[in-house]
Chain A
C-alpha cells in the first residue's frame, strides 16, 4: 500500500541555519503531497502542498518540490528561526486508491536554538 517515510529526528539547528527534512513516498497512483506542521500542544496546520510532478509548494519561507523520478518531497528552508521549532509531517493523498485519506509519515521534530 501507499506509504511515506521521513528522516528520523530530532533535528537540532542553530538559528539561521539551512534546513532539509527528507521525505520519500510509495504510491500506486498519482498522489498529492503535503507538509504539515504541529506546534507544541496544537493541532496540525497545512504548511504547503503540491499536486503534480515538478510542482513546488511554498509558504513562510519553506519550500518542497514534487520529484516523481525520485519519489521525494523534501522540505527546505534557507534560514530557520526559533519559532520554526515544531514537528513536521509529510503526507500523501491518493484519491483514486485511498478515498482521499491522508497517509502520514512518522513526523520529524525540529528544534532551533538561538
Chain B
C-alpha cells in the first residue's frame, strides 16, 4: 500500500533563516505531488505541484520554492523565512489522470517562524 511521509513534524525557525521540508511517497511510481499551506483558520492554499522529476508548477508568487530531485521526493524550501510563512504545511500525492485523481495527504509539518 502507499504511504506518504513528511518531516520534520514540527519546526520553529527565526525570521531570515532557511527552510527545507521533505516529503516522500512509498508504494507508487510517478505520482503527482503537491504542497499546500494551511494558515491560521482552516483554508488550504496550493503552493506547488509536480507531475514528474524536475517539473514544478507554482501557484502563488512567494519566497518559497519547491524541487523534485527524485520520483517520489518533494522538497519545499526557502532561503529566508518571513513571519507570514508560519503555518501547517501539507504534502499530498495523486495517481495519474484519468485513473485516479483523489489526493492523499501526509501528516503535515507545523512551522512557526519567530
A contacts, CB < 8 Å to B? 32, 34, 36, 38, 41-46, 49, 87, 89, 93, 95, 99-102, 104, 106-107, 109
Contact = CB atoms under 8 A, between A and B. Distances in A.
A104 B44 contact: yes
A36 B104 CA distance: 10
B101 A44 contact: no
A89 B106 contact: no
Interface of B: 6, 32, 34, 42-44, 46, 49, 51, 90, 92, 94, 97-98, 101-108, 110
Contact of A43 (B46, B51, B97, B108): B108
Given A95-B97, A100-B94, A101-B46, A42 B102 contact: no
Interface of B: prevailing SS: strand
Interface of A: prevailing SS: strand
Nearest to B51: A99
Contacts of B43: 104, 106-107
A101 B106 contact: no
A68 B102 CA distance: 19
Contacts of A100: 32, 94, 97, 101
Nearest to B100: A100
